[in-house]
Amino acid sequence: MAIERTLSIIKPDATKRNLTGKINAKFEDAGLRIVAQKRIQLTMEQAGKFYEVHKERPFYGELCEFMASGPVVVQVLEGEGAIAKNREVMGATNPADAAAGTIRAEFAESVGENSVHGSDAAETAAVEIAYFFSGLELVG
């Protein structure tokens, strides 16, 4: 399988509870390498643009408010099949459906406040990485 890069976000519910290190350990234990990382505070506008694909969904406003409600850690994860592997480590969107041992099963508070974001395909990963990082910031 090819080496891929994917965008991950540790969401405000997790940064608030000081879970960055525990979540990063899950990525590293799964063989994902953190090749870029920064802690930032999104504005409503920046969160809205990032989640533009969900604009028509009923939870869009709530989602943007949540993502702008506190610091997030944006990061690029690299590894073999990193996009699918990260989705596996994250677990299902709704923590009630997430497999045991996944980040969302262990840490998520609800379907909305679910601790992590991960790109869902190669094309979205490229766009999402470029939204937060320049090439110079990616150090493999």
Query: Using CA atoms, how far apart are residues 42 and 50, in angstroms rounded to an integer?
Result: 10
What x/- string results for residues 54 through 83 when contact with ligand ADP is judged by CB under 6 A?
A: x----x--xx--------------------
Residue closer to ligand ADP by CB (options 49, 54) is 54
- 54 catalytically annotated: no
Smallest separation, CB 63 to ligand ADP (Å): 5
Query: Using CA atoms, how far apart are residues 67 and 74, in angstroms rounded to an integer?
Result: 12
Smallest separation, CB 125 to ligand ADP (Å): 12
Applying CB under 6 A, among 117, 125, 128, 129 the residue interacting with ligand ADP is 117
Token pair 């990616």 is found at 138
Smallest separation, CB 111 to ligand ADP (Å): 5
Per DSSP (E only), the strands in 42-86 are: 72-80
Helix (H/G/I), strand (E/B), else coil: 74: strand
Query: Using CA atoms, how far apart are residues 139 and 102, in angstroms rounded to an integer?
Result: 26
Q: Which of 117, 125, 128, 133 is catalytic?
A: 117
Applying CB under 6 A, among 3, 80, 88, 93 the residue interacting with ligand ADP is 93
Residue closer to ligand ADP by CB (options 88, 137) is 88
Query: Using CA atoms, how far apart are residues 84 and 79, in angstroms rounded to an integer?
Result: 10
Smallest separation, CB 57 to ligand ADP (Å): 7
**Cα dist from 115 to 49, 54, 76, 138, whole Å:** 19, 18, 16, 23
Catalytic positions: 117
